[in-house]
Structure 1
Amino acid sequence: MKDASAIVVVMAFFVSWLGCWLPIAAVTLKLLNWQPIKPLQPEQKLPLMVSLYLLAPLVLWGVIWLTNSSFANYGFVSNFAFLSSLGFGFGLGIVSIAILFTCQLWLGWCYFKDFNIKQLVSISLPILLIALLVGGIEELVFRGFLLTELERGYPVCTAAIISSLIFAVLHLVWEQRETLPQLPGLWLLGMMLVLARISNRGNLGIAWGLHSALVWAIATIDTAQLVTYTGKVSEWWTGKNQKPLAGVTGIICVLGTSLILWLFSVL
């Protein structure tokens, strides 16, 4: 019975979220003059994504009101300790990405385009704001709401596996060709972020900071085209379609960060 109750609440949230967003998406696409025969361009995806993500807390607030729960139950609290955890997670994410690309540079698998660094001044802040929004909402939904609800009916390990699988598969909504090779990495990333919440005693601060840092670092590198791969090794090592989570080194990076989180949780 508890299993069914958890599934009903989860399904109600996602159906309500999608149902509220679809009319907004339709109007947005109309305003953007999108043609169904043409694929969505990045500048068209951004307003769709932002509107979807901004709706999530409102829909979740409705679920909380109906179920007599609270945002705190889902790991979102407002205090200094939460902000400190967010900062720690963000720093850990930046260090992880720095180590990843430093190793690839040292091995001769890629090189930096120094002349593109000047672009960082204009793009860093906007990307950071989007990364904080994406990281915060996805953590609230997947490691907060979804994981907590699934734990009502399943062991924490099972709940983590299911929530991470849903997290990975839903990324196919925005991009299929580039996302498919990343699915194992995205699932593993979801498991790492579950560990981040566990290591933070149930709060989402570390997970939010870590997730946002990874999004910000990778998006900034891609947008500024700071890195060029040499082709010295197969892209399955560096990341298919230049996506770190679709390569062995990206997986190793996630596993190494997970080890740090595990050590942090047992200290």
Structure 2
Amino acid sequence: MSPQRATSQVSDGMVVGIGGFINSGHPMTLVRQLIRDGRRELTVVGAASAGLEIDLLIAAGCVRKVISPYIGAEGLVGIGPAYRHAAQAGTIEIVETDEALYYAGLRAAAQCLPFNPWSAGLGTSIPTVNPSITEFNDPITGRRMLAVPAIDIDVCFLHAAASDPYGNVQHHGTSYGDTALAAAADVVIASVESVVPVESVRANPAATTIPGADGVVRAPFGAHPFSSDGYYVPDRTHIDEYLKAASELLRSGTRTPVDAYLDHYVLSTTDDVEYLERVGLRRLLSLHEF
């Protein structure tokens, strides 16, 4: 399907999962289309270690609530600047969680359960900083435990190496936490560097990481400016360009630079082909892995 049809699955106020990991494997073609669509009041479930894809959505005004243990860009910035600015200003709600609790919530959703019992964190301030997590007595053993609520996702967007037309998705290298996000979602849509014949998938079915995604979007360079394993490395120059703009929002509260970035690369482009044209062919070709 087209990126426009993929993001049409999302309505204002929905819970949207975004796959990838820090500076790698984010479905940026679909993230940018969500911004073009003008979606608002989204609850965004980032990766266990999410990157600046969430920061960009926050800067664009799409996000009301964030569920992710970390949002940043290791080696480039510790915490996403738009995320930090919104958190400090109180304009977004942040669900306090760590990676263990995050995956426990996804597991509960995947199993169609209201919560997942968890013992790590007992005796800490976790139930205080995250009131949705409550203590209870296990009816079998009588042990005190934490009830971690399910993280139910309406639509999940992922990026991977390839898929056949039937949604059998294959990552190159690691699949990060994409499989857990997909299992917790009602609808899974994957953008991929290439759509391959079903015979290619059947030749190595063990490489299929997500079987039967609900939608597939052919998106070469669909993770840019982040990496796509086996295809290209992160575009540090472009990421720095965004960080410079978003950091001004954090430092002085002025939106002018980040709005200029959003207008040039997202809002004034009709689709991601035009976005890639603005990035430039020479830059894109310089990112290929060998």
Q: TM-score range by the shorter chain?
A: under 0.3
**Which structure has more helix as a fraction of its residues?**
1
For CA contacts below 8 A with separation 6 or more, give which structure has more relative contact order: 1
TM value normalised by structure 2: 0.25
